[in-house]
Amino acid sequence: MSQKNNQVPLELTAQTQAELIVLARKALLSGLTYDEVQDKIARFATRLTVSERIEEKTVKQRPKQIKRRLPRAMRMGAMIIPLALLIVGVYLVGSAVVPILGYYVTDENPTFQKELIAPIPRYQVMDVTPLVIMPATPEASIAEEPSAPEVVSDDLDFTNLANWFGGSVPELIPKGPEAGPIKTYRLDIPSIKVENAEVAVSGTDLSKHLIAYPGTALPGEFGAPVIFGHSVLRQFYNPSEKNPRRYNSIFSTIMTLKEGVDKIYIEADGVKYTYLVQKKAEVKPEDVYILTQQYDAKRLKLVTCVPEGTYLRRGVVTAQLVEESGG
């Protein structure tokens, strides 16, 4: 009997072994023979070992049992939600990076120029419009040409037009008494779904309306109204009139306008003006020559930050007046 019991594999913890020793002493003191005590100890140890194995197995199976008790929809959700969050994260990062990368590789964008341009060379500004821009100081006229674009701080609020230029903005001389007879007018660009956008003559708050830089021409006049608008990443572009924040994104896609194809409509003082897109260009943040007025034609300029969602450069769309009706 004892030989048989000695063959039973035992896996006892230190605590169990201590309990068995105490039990053996009590059995011997009660008058049992050594073989009887050894037999009882073997059976007790076997039961303990089996019990510990069952408990260990139960602990391992408990998560599976809990999982099986959960509703199928909850189990599927536990697998799908982390994957969905990962996909959303990748999408958000990609949606911010891809438009910027795409801006550099799209043939239609003017970024393939070897260097950024200004609509009018710096040395010709005073020759072209001596009555529009205030005369520069001698120090400013001989200032060294910057070797790279000056990027204004990301901490600035770019819904404020005053923060758009890296250098100082020239003061334009108004052509009429004070701000002129027209305070606001309307702009439509059907090809990019901009409808009935308000253009304010003067002001700085681009979150409330577009802004025609004061001192530039009015619609239909010789020269060019220079209209500024804000831009964001294209996926947030929503120029709908129902969107209370439409002006934060309203010019996000103007650099996609097609030259010689797309038209821009302005209605001012009961007269409708139709402009045809002529060209697109990019300038440095400090290049204020986009404000200059050339009186050989009636043009229009739209200005926003590019690439979309950044403030690195300024995109300029120039259009030519092709039709005037009403009035």
Residue 213 CA to residue 199 CA, distance in Å, equals 10
The answer, yes or no, to whether residue 1 has pLDDT greater than 50, is no
* pLDDT for the residue 12: 59
Q: What percent of the chain has pLDDT over 90?
A: 29
Residue 221: name the closest of 153, 258, 170, 271 by CA.
271
Contact between 275 and 263 under an 8 Å Cβ cutoff? The reply is yes
Q: What is the dihedral of CA 118, 124, 125, 130, to 10 degrees?
A: -160
* Widest Cα–Cα separation across the chain: 127
* pLDDT for the residue 61: 78
Alpha-helical regions (H) of 71-166: 72-105, 125-128, 138-141
Could you tell me the domains of the chain? 2-69 (no CATH), 118-326 (2.40.260.10)
Mean pLDDT of the chain: 75
What CA–CA distances, in Å, run from 118 to 25, 166, 309, 316?
103, 14, 21, 10
Does the CA dihedral 151-152-154-157 come out positive or negative? Answer: negative
pLDDT in tens, 130-176: 334 443 344 333 334 444 444 444 455 556 665 665 545 555 555 54
Contact between 222 and 211 under an 8 Å Cβ cutoff? The reply is no
HSE on the CB side for 187, CA within 13 Å? Answer: 32
* pLDDT for the residue 234: 80
**3-class DSSP assignment, residue 115:** coil
Residue 296 CA to residue 288 CA, distance in Å, equals 20
pLDDT in tens, 67-121: 777 787 777 877 888 888 888 888 777 766 766 666 666 555 554 443 444 444 4
Residues comprising the chain, all counted: 327
Amino acid identity, position 220: G
The radius of gyration of the chain from alpha carbons, rounded to an integer in Å, stands at 39
